[in-house]
Amino acid sequence: MGAQDGEGVSGVTRTARGANRGTRRGVLLAAAVLLASGCDSGPSLETQDKVTAPPGDSKHLVVGSAGFTESDLLAQMYALLLDKAGYDTEILSVANRELYEPALESGQIDVVPEYAATFADWLNAKVNGADAKPVGSPDLDATMKALRKLAAPRGLTVLDPGRAVDQNAFAVTAAYARKHHLKSLTDLGKSGLKVRLAAGDECVQRPYCEPGLKKVYGIDITGVDPKGVGTTQAKKAVQSGQDQMVLTTTTDATLDEFGLVLLTDDKNLQNADYIVPVVNRSRAGSKGVSRALARLNTVLTTKDLADLNRQVDSWRRLPEDVAKKYLETKNLL
């Protein structure tokens, strides 16, 4: 799910749990080690040796977060479920995949929430070069097969995806949708309406954005207004009528505040960015870890995740409190 990827190399923060739950401290040593490991483009000899080792079951596990709201929430839920299963956990927030993925390989991070198609394409580019043909697709089974094939040689195990998915999505105002009888992107294409799209500037080239909207749905995109993906500025442009549609995500928590509604991607233009836990096999590849995290799979939905994001982003609640309350209401704690 590229829209919310961290941009900088800042913010390596540990959150201790168990006896020291709730305390936060910056760890300069961890930052230095992670920065160093981020320069590595391939698996180390140590990692290669661990690929053939039995799946590990370390009782102290570091859960990684990419530093944005949704990742923080997922990391908190993972940690709470692992605590419940008898593990001692702490959370390490690293706002950059270029840093936390090598740390996951080396065992500095043991488990991290990821997005299937995005992570598959990221690993593919890391292994085969930036120009490699994408392996992520709208087909979840094919995406998971490609992702696991890429992850395994790096000492990583990709656990089963759940029901929640955070894909790129397109929204219009509710009034616009009512006026033109729009529920899906197919409806918009058939309407013949001219559409100015608020999105990132890369939208003009990405197959899931302007080219795909034209090719797959026949939507008449007259231009891309480069205001970013799901930004307040982009949503306000659509709210005011300056633009007709905005590129955002399926778990955007603030659409209601701008009077916006999503149009269904009924022809599956977007890739299968289902949420998947990825673990370091030699430290957290056990059935105990898998069972603990799998408890979330049948419960957490895309709608649930959007609501949890809203509680943090709009209601200013702490991710740990929101995550704990959610798991309690689902009888998982």
Residue 137 placed within a domain = yes
Do residues 259 and 271 touch, judged by C-beta distance below 8 A?
no
Residues 81 and 132 in one domain: yes
**How many C-beta atoms lie closer than 10 Å to residue 184's C-beta?**
15
Residues 118 and 198 in one domain: no
Average pLDDT, the chain: 87
* Percentage of residues of the chain with pLDDT beyond 70: 84
Residue 84 placed within a domain = yes
What CATH number should be reported for the domain holding residue 160?
3.40.190.10
What backbone phi and psi angles, to 5 degrees, belong to 64? -90, 145
pLDDT for res 313: 87
Average pLDDT value for residue range 84-102: 93
Residues 75 and 139 in one domain: yes
What pLDDT, in 10s, does the model give residues 24-64? Answer: 333 333 444 454 544 444 444 445 555 556 788 899 999 99
Quote the number of domains for the chain: 2
Residue 268 placed within a domain = no
Of 237, 263, 289, which one is at a domain's C-terminal end? 263
Residues 255 and 294 in one domain: no
- Measure the CA–CA gap between 158 and 320, rounded to whole angstroms: 24
Do residues 215 and 234 touch, judged by C-beta distance below 8 A?
no
pLDDT for res 3: 42
Of 242, 263, 284, which one is at a domain's C-terminal end? 263
Q: How is the beta sheet containing 168-173 ordered, strand by strand?
A: 220-226, 194-199, 245-249, 168-173, 260-263
Residue 123 placed within a domain = yes
Residue 36 placed within a domain = yes
What pLDDT, in 10s, does the model give residues 241-298? Answer: 999 999 999 999 899 999 999 999 999 999 999 999 999 999 999 999 999 999 999 9
Residues 32 and 159 in one domain: yes
Q: Which of 108, 90, 97, 83 is nearest to 32 (CA)?
A: 108
DSSP 8-state secondary structure symbol assigned to residue 66: -
Flag whether pLDDT at 304 surpasses 90: yes
Chain centroid, CA 225 distance in Å: 24
pLDDT for res 253: 87
In which residue are the tokens 């043909």 written?
133
Residue 38 placed within a domain = yes
Residue 314 placed within a domain = yes
Residues 51 and 33 in one domain: yes
Q: Which of 245, 282, 285 is nearest to 265 (CA)?
A: 245
Residues 296 and 213 in one domain: no
Q: Which of 176, 169, 226 is nearest to 200 (CA)?
A: 226
What CATH number should be reported for the domain holding residue 243?
3.40.190.120
Range of the domain at 241: 168-263
Q: Which of 273, 276, 301 is nearest to 3 (CA)?
A: 273
pTM score, two decimals?
A: 0.82
Residues 54 and 96 in one domain: yes
In which residue are the tokens 């839920």 written?
77
Residues 148 and 74 in one domain: yes
Of 263, 286, 313, which one is at a domain's C-terminal end? 263
Residue 189 placed within a domain = yes
Q: Which of 263, 271, 261 is nearest to 189 (CA)?
A: 263
Confidence of residue 7 (pLDDT cuts 50, 70, 90): very low
Residues 255 and 151 in one domain: no
Average pLDDT value for residue range 63-74: 94
Residues 82 and 213 in one domain: no
Residues 177 and 161 in one domain: no
